C-alpha cells in the first residue's frame, strides 16, 4: 500500500520571528520502493522525517499536513499523531546510530525489546533467536558475540547495521533513513545501502531516503523529490528526472555533482567545478514569486511575481515540477 504525505507545513518559533521550515510539502512512496528526498542543508529534509515520526523539537508547530500509512489517515497537526506507529508501522535510521541505541544496554537486550513490543506473546528464547538471526541478516560478523556487546564496543558502520537490524525486526510499513551513511567511509556506505535495500526487499516496506547525495539517489532510489527552502520543487522517477529535469534547480544540482568518470583536463588546474551562486532565502520571510527565483539562471519577469503550481513534465503523470517554463499557453 502506498504511503503518502500531503500538504505538510511546519513552523519553528525563533527568538525573532517564525521560520517557515516547510510549506505545503507532499510526497508519495509506493510500497517496496525507495524515494530519495534531496536538497541542500537547511532545506527541511530532516523536518519532514521528524514530523512523520512525531519527533519534532518543542518549538516546532505543524500547521498543516496529513499522512496515510497502512491505509490509515493521520492528522499531523495533532501532537503524537503517529505515536501508535512508532516502532511498529514506522522505523527511522538517523545519521548518528547512537540516537537509536541505548548505551547502557547490550545489543541483544535492545533487539529483544523491539520484538517484545512487536509481539508481546512471544517467549524469550524465540526472541533471542530472532534477534541473532536479524544481526546475521544485516551481515554483522559474529552475531552471537555481538548480542552481549554494548554499542560503544562497535564501530560506526557496525552500529548502523544494528539499527538496521532493529528496523528489520519491527517490520515497518515505512522506513525513514536520514543521511544514514554520511558519517561513513565509501566502502561501508555501499554495504549499508545494500543492507537497507535488503531490508526493504525482505519486508516490502516503503523507504524514504534523505540525503544530499544525488549519487546515492541515482544508484539506489526508484523515485526522487527535490526540496528547496521548505518547498518541493520537483518529483518523479529517478530515470525521468535525471533524463530531463523539469526545474532549473534540479538541473543545477545534477550539474554540481562530480562523477568519478568526468572528463579530465590534462592540466589538472584547468578542471573547474559548477556552483549554484547565492544562498537559501530567509525562512522567516518568503519572497514573492518562485522561491528559487533569486538563484535561477533562466528566470524571467513572471517568476518574480507568480508562485508556480505543479506542472507535469513531458506529459508524464508521474513527473512534475514547479517552474513557470512548464506552463502550456
Partner 1 sequence: MTDAISISNAQLRFGETVALDGVSLSIRRGTCFGIVGESGSGKTTLMRAILGLQRLDHGEIRILCNPLVHSRAALKQRAGFIQPIFQDPAASLSPRSRIRTLMNEVGTVLREPHAATRERLGVILNRLGLPPGVIDKYPHEISGGQARRVAIARALLMKPSILIADEPTAGLDVSVQGDLLNLLQDIRRSDNITLVVISHNLAIVRLIAENAVVMRAGKVVEGGEIGSLFGSPQEVYTRDLLAAWPSIRAANTKR
Using CB under 6 A as the criterion, which residues of the chain lie in contact with ligand ADP when the complex forms? 12, 14, 19, 21, 39, 41-47, 57, 59, 283
Pick the closer one to ligand ADP by CB: 21 or 216: 21
Nearest-approach distance from CB 289 to partner 1, in angstroms: 20
List 262, 284, 314, 327, residue binding partner 1 (CB under 8 A)? 262
Pick the closer one to ligand ADP by CB: 19 or 166: 19
Nearest-approach distance from CB 93 to partner 1, in angstroms: 17
Nearest-approach distance from CB 12 to ligand ADP, in angstroms: 3
Nearest-approach distance from CB 184 to ligand ADP, in angstroms: 12
Pick the closer one to partner 1 by CB: 59 or 155: 155
- Examine residue 264 and tell whether it contacts partner 1 (CB under 8 A): yes
- Examine residue 219 and tell whether it contacts partner 1 (CB under 8 A): yes
Pick the closer one to partner 1 by CB: 56 or 253: 253
Pick the closer one to ligand ADP by CB: 1 or 14: 14
Nearest-approach distance from CB 186 to partner 1, in angstroms: 4
Nearest-approach distance from CB 41 to ligand ADP, in angstroms: 4
Q: Which residues bind Mg ion (CB under 5 A)?
A: 45-46
Three-class secondary structure assignment of the chain? CCEEEEEEEEEEECCCCEEEEEEEEEEEECCCCEEEEECCCCCCHHHHHHHHHCCCCCCEEEEEEEEEECCEEEECCCCCCCHHHECCCEEEECCCHHHCCCCCCCHHHHHHHHHHHHCCCCCHHHHHHHHHHHHHHCCCCCHHHHCCCCHHHCCHHHHHHHHHHHHHHHCCCEEEEECCCCCCCHHHHHHHHHHHHHHHHHHCCEEEEECCCHHHHHHHCCEEEEEECCEEEEEEEHHHHHHCCCCHHHHHHHHHCCCCCCCCCCCHHHCCCCCCCCCCCCCCCCCCCCCCHHHCCCCCHHHHCCCCCCEEECCEEEEEECCHHHCCC
Number of chain positions touching partner 1 (CB under 8 A): 39
Residues forming contacts to partner 1 in the complex (CB under 8 A) are 40-41, 185-187, 189-190, 193, 212-216, 218-220, 238-239, 242-243, 252-254, 256-262, 264, 268-269, 271-276
Amino acid at each position: 500500500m502506498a504511503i503518502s504525505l500531503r500538504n505538510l507545513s511546519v513552523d519553528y518559533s525563533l527568538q525573532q520571528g517564525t521560520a517557515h521550515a516547510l510549506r505545503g510539502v507532499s510526497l508519495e512512496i509506493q510500497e517496496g520502493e525507495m524515494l530519495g528526498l534531496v536538497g541542500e542543508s537547511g532545506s527541511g529534509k530532516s523536518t519532514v522525517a521528524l514530523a512523520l515520526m512525531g519527533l519534532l523539537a518543542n518549538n516546532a508547530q505543524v500547521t498543516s499536513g496529513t499522512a496515510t500509512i497502512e491505509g490509515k489517515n493521520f492528522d499531523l497537526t495533532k501532537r503524537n499523531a503517529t505515536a501508535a506507529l512508532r516502532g511498529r508501522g514506522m522505523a527511522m535510521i538517523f545519521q548518528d546510530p547512537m540516537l537509536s541505541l541505548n548505551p547502557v544496554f547490550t545489543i541483544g537486550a535492545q533487539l529483544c525489546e523491539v520484538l517484545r513490543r512487536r509481539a508481546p506473546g512471544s517467549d524469550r528464547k524465540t526472541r533471542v533467536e530472532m534477534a541473532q538471526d536479524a544481526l546475521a541478516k544485516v551481515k554483522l560478523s559474529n552475531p552471537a558475540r555481538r548480542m552481549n556487546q554494548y554499542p560503544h564496543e562497535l564501530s560506526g558502520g557496525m552500529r548502523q547495521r544494528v539499527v538496521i537490524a532493529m528496523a528489520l525486526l519491527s517490520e515497518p510499513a515505512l522506513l525513514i533513513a536520514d543521511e544514514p551513511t554520511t558519517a561513513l567511509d565509501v566502502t561501508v556506505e555501499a554495504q549499508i545501502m545494500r543492507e537497507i535495500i535488503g531490508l526493504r526487499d525482505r519486508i516490502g516496506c516503503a523507504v524514504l531516503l534523505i540525503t544530499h547525495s544525488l549519487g546515492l539517489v541515482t544508484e539506489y532510489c526508484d523515485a526522487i523529490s527535490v526540496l528547496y527552502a521548505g518547498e518541493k520543487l520537483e518529483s518523479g522517477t529517478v530515470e525521468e528526472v535525471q533524463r530531463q529535469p523539469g526545474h532549473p534547480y534540479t538541473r543545477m544540482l545534477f550539474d554540481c555533482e562530480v562523477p568519478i568518470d568526468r572528463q579530465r583536463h590534462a592540466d589538472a588546474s584547468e578542471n573547474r567545478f559548477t556552483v549554484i551562486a547565492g544562498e537559501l532565502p530567509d525562512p522567516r520571510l518568503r519572497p514573492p514569486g518562485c522561491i528559487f527565483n533569486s538563484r535561477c539562471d533562466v528566470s524571467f519577469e513572471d517568476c518574480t511575481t507568480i508562485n508556480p503550481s505543479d506542472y507535469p513534465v513531458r506529459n508524464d503523470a508521474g513527473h512534475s515540477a514547479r517552474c513557470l517554463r512548464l506552463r502550456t499557453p
